[in-house]
Structure 1
Amino acid sequence: MAGSEGSSGGSDAGTSGLRHWVFLDGNRWLITAVVCVAVFAVTRGLVALGVLAVGPSGNVPTVFGSGITSGVFTLVTLTLTVNQLVSSQVFGKPDSLRQRYEKGARLRDRVAELSGRSTVPVDTADFVAVVGEALDDRADSLRGSRQGTASADAGGAGDLATLASDLGDFADRIARVSGEMKPVEAISATAGSDYARFRRRVRAETAGAELSDPVADDLDAVEELLGHLSVARQYFKTLALHQELAKLSREIIYLSVPCLLVAVSVPLLYRSNGAAVPEPALPWVISAAVAVVLAPLVVLVVRLLRVSTVMRYTVSTGPFAPPEDWPWNE
């Protein structure tokens, strides 16, 4: 029984790791290549079984000459739409751009003040790490406080110590975020509802309690830093997703040219009395052509799979909790 349970646990862990790789960490080009190879293999198998007809009497020229060609042009149009979506987020009038800059500068200055630094990093991931370090410092200050409340209430002091310990663990995880990490890894490290739940616990700790001035100052700083962490995380997610969508547009453009060439060339292989390639090679050629023309669609799917996963589980910017479970834990 124990061995069976261990085997089941290992299988679940392996499945979870595979799903995590497919949804987030996996190289999008590698996943695209694997899917295209699978499409080639399935198509070749169906041709061998006689399910698909690729001979001169089949409908291959019509499918490639009209349907697939129009589909590629549709993907190119979609790419232009995605580019417009990304571009619309960075364009603006001078007044609105100045307001964005000033708000960002105030946020940086305030975090520098709360963290006791003269400056903070310009890299967004490193900025998130600075917020984590500031939270860790405040947690250490709360943990080292000998007098949790002015009334010396044992229960209140215990709750404060627990909060400080939990906050320190959370801050350590956030502080490990760095600009050297992949954007998706950094987003994954900061995802979840911990910041909102800690904010609620801080509010509960300060409500109606007689706190010493140092403890009250630390708790106020923690609450403010948690809000700044939420904003910084969402901003970092916005930058990362903009880059992801920009990569998607570029990759579809790269693949559209060879796909159009293949879609136009395949009908030209067929003649009224046969095909331009030997009949034994025709199934292999058509199977490869199907895999090539579907490559832009596969790229679109695997890129949007990552984008939609990140957006779903980092939806909250305020003091509300987004979903806790990632898809591989559901």
Structure 2
Amino acid sequence: MSGEPGDTMRERADESSRVLWLLLNADRWLVTALLSAILFCSIVVVGLLVSEPGFRAGDPIETLYQALITSTVTGVTLVLTLSQLVLSQELGSAGDQRERMRGALSFRRDVADAVDTAVSPAEPSAFLRALVGATRDRAEAIDGALTDLEPDARNRVTSYLDAVIENADGVIEQLDGATFGEFDVVRAALNYNYSWKLYEGRSIRETDDIDLPEAAVAELESLLDLLELFGSAREHFKTLYFQWELSNLSRTLLYTAVPALAVAVSSLLFLDPSAIDGATAGVPHALVLVAATTTVSLVPFTILLAYVLRIVTVTKRTLSIGPFILRETDRSGDISERT
């Protein structure tokens, strides 16, 4: 179908598979280790490339560790501020909490009615799976109700329905067994391209050249309602995931700040690289020691970078809600041809 963007996040991404895996799918501790390794190797390589390898007592070594101590203390302070910001969103008066409860219950009732169940699932993965599965069922119902359509119109509608069914099957499989708090649920939700499906479904409904049977129109309306509910649910679970990740980030940074601070303080007080002799494979031991202590002292920063990389990547790919496609697609002539 002309101008149709890819369904999965990988198909819509400009980055390579490896870069996307690093940004989103890789364990954050693995990303932290990789960034730390790059930092350590960079310091060693630069140290080996200088014309006169060696260290001078005093500056710049003392200045380096003083800066690391200051940055660690500042970072911990910022983390505490961030934690208070996340926590403040959960605080409120009894009236505010009651309104939140009413909104959540109302949304769950709407979803339960839309998916034809008495009570909507409690777990995020099961909740999204029920919504996606319902869109698949509606697409199959529309396909079964199609009669007496022109070949071009039928091809367009069936192409749309096939895309909905195929994408839904893949996302349902990804959501099976996914646990909230890990990235699996959000990744599966990102792989369901509901924005294009909502746009294309509304375009089919409003196109004069496509005269759908009454039963198919009713099922299409139901499908569009489900897609709108999925968009709201995805944004809600994305927000909860961000709060979860920021809480984990705050706790992890506080845990690692103490050893990082201890290494920086100990190095400032007791380390004298100029007094360390010897080398292994042409690499001075003093250079390795300085690179290692600097890397350990910067672990809180590399952890922060690893987490923020994923958060900002997800944010970039979910900036819009509803039938907006923030990517370049070939849709020239669509409006004039379809309305």
Pairwise TM-score range, normalised by the shorter structure? 0.7 to 0.9
> Which residue, out of 309, 313, 316, partners 1:309?
313
Relative to structure 1, the CA distance from residue 157 to residue 306 in structure 2 (aligned partners, 3 Å threshold; closer, same or farther) is same
C-alpha separation between the residues in 1 aligned to 2:104 and 2:293? 50
Contact 1:192 1:323 in 2 (8 A): no
> Which residue, out of 172, 176, 195, partners 2:173?
176
C-alpha separation between the residues in 1 aligned to 2:185 and 2:328? 17
CA displacement at 1:306 relative to structure 2: 0.6
Relative to structure 1, the CA distance from residue 322 to residue 85 in structure 2 (aligned partners, 3 Å threshold; closer, same or farther) is farther
Amino acid paired to 1:205: I
Mapping of 1:86-125 within 5 angstroms? 86-125=86-125
2:245 corresponds to = 244
SS in 2 for 1:144: helix
C-alpha separation between the residues in 2 aligned to 1:307 and 1:52? 40
Relative to structure 1, the CA distance from residue 166 to residue 226 in structure 2 (aligned partners, 3 Å threshold; closer, same or farther) is same
Contact 1:23 1:306 in 2 (8 A): yes
CA displacement at 1:299 relative to structure 2: 0.9
How many pairs align? 304
> Which residue, out of 280, 283, 294, partners 2:298?
294
C-alpha separation between the residues in 2 aligned to 1:195 and 1:88? 32
Contact 1:132 1:174 in 2 (8 A): yes
C-alpha separation between the residues in 1 aligned to 2:70 and 2:243? 27
1:74 to 2:71 alignment: no
CA displacement at 1:96 relative to structure 2: 2.2
Structure 1 length normalisation: TM-score? 0.82
Gaps of 5+ in 1: 1-14, 326-330
2:9 corresponds to = none
Contact 2:168 2:192 in 1 (8 A): no
1:85 corresponds to = 85
CA displacement at 1:222 relative to structure 2: 0.7
CA displacement at 1:16 relative to structure 2: 2.2
1:198 corresponds to = 197
**1:239-279, Cα deviation, whole Å (9 max, x unpaired):** 111111112111111111011111111122257xx97x644
Gaps of 5+ in 2: 1-14, 279-284, 330-339
Relative to structure 1, the CA distance from residue 287 to residue 158 in structure 2 (aligned partners, 3 Å threshold; closer, same or farther) is closer
Contact 2:198 2:322 in 1 (8 A): no
Q: CA RMSD in A?
A: 2.7
Relative to structure 1, the CA distance from residue 21 to residue 278 in structure 2 (aligned partners, 3 Å threshold; closer, same or farther) is same
Contact 1:241 1:307 in 2 (8 A): yes
1:285 to 2:286 alignment: no
Contact 2:146 2:213 in 1 (8 A): no
2:16 corresponds to = 16
1:269 corresponds to = 270
Amino acid paired to 1:289: T
CA displacement at 1:160 relative to structure 2: 3.2
Relative to structure 1, the CA distance from residue 158 to residue 54 in structure 2 (aligned partners, 3 Å threshold; closer, same or farther) is same
Relative to structure 1, the CA distance from residue 155 to residue 284 in structure 2 (aligned partners, 3 Å threshold; closer, same or farther) is closer
Structure 2 length normalisation: TM-score? 0.80
Amino acid paired to 2:121: P
**1:51-104, Cα deviation, whole Å (9 max, x unpaired):** 66434254312321x322111111112211221222122222222222222222
C-alpha separation between the residues in 1 aligned to 2:204 and 2:127? 27
